């Protein structure tokens, strides 16, 4: 595969995974019909934070520095829309994942935070921090685990 095809492959992978997670997490429970925001509103707020978590995870898994740089460049607008410098964010996530005993679990908790708060966490909270606890009505953990697995499989 040439460089352009590889970049398109990863861009498509990130888009597909983020869209799947976004749709899965934004599904409405019975109470959401009476309380809270609408599905499209939730999806619009949630897409960018999830995309940044996915970009960070993919960059952690890649060895090619030029490819990482290109992926970060393509995600720069999404990050700026949240007031985040993508390169600092990815480096921060790399350090966070390196300190973690379980990258998969950390990724899930960060994505759950993004879902609960509609923004990215600065660090992993304590186990009892409500912002990192999943909403079991929408299968959030399973949705995010699937995203992790898709990114991992997409590397091959």
pLDDT at 74: 94
**What's the token pair of residue 67?**
């490819």
The arithmetic mean of pLDDT across residues 120-147, rounded, is: 86
pLDDT digits (tens, 9 = 90+) for 93-108: 999 999 999 999 999 9
Q: In whole angstroms, what is the distance from residue 62 CA to residue 44 CA?
A: 28
With a cut of 90, say whether residue 156 has pLDDT above it. no
Please count the structural domains in the chain.
1
Quick one: pLDDT band at residue 131, thresholds 50, 70, 90? confident
Q: Give this prediction's pTM.
A: 0.91
User: Among candidates 70, 56, 66, which has minimal Cα distance to 18?
Assistant: 56
Longest dimension (CA), the chain: 51
């Amino acid at each position: 595969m040439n460089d352009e095809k590889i970049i398109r492959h990863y861009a498509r992978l990130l888009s597909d995974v983020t869209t799947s997670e976004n749709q899965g997490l934004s599904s409405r429970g019975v109470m959401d019909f009476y309380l809270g925001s609408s599905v499209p509103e939730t999806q619009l707020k949630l897409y960018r934070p999830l995309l940044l978590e996915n970009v960070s995870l993919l960059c952690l898994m890649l060895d090619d520095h030029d490819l990482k740089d290109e992926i970060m460049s393509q995600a720069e607008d999404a990050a700026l829309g949240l007031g985040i410098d993508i390169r600092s964010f990815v480096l921060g996530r790399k350090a966070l994942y390196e300190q973690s005993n379980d990258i998969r679990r950390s990724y899930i908790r960060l994505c759950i935070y993004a879902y609960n708060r509609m923004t990215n966490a600065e660090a992993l909270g304590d186990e009892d921090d409500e912002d990192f606890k999943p909403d079991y009505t929408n299968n959030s953990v399973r949705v995010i685990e699937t995203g992790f697995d898709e990114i991992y499989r997409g590397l091959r």
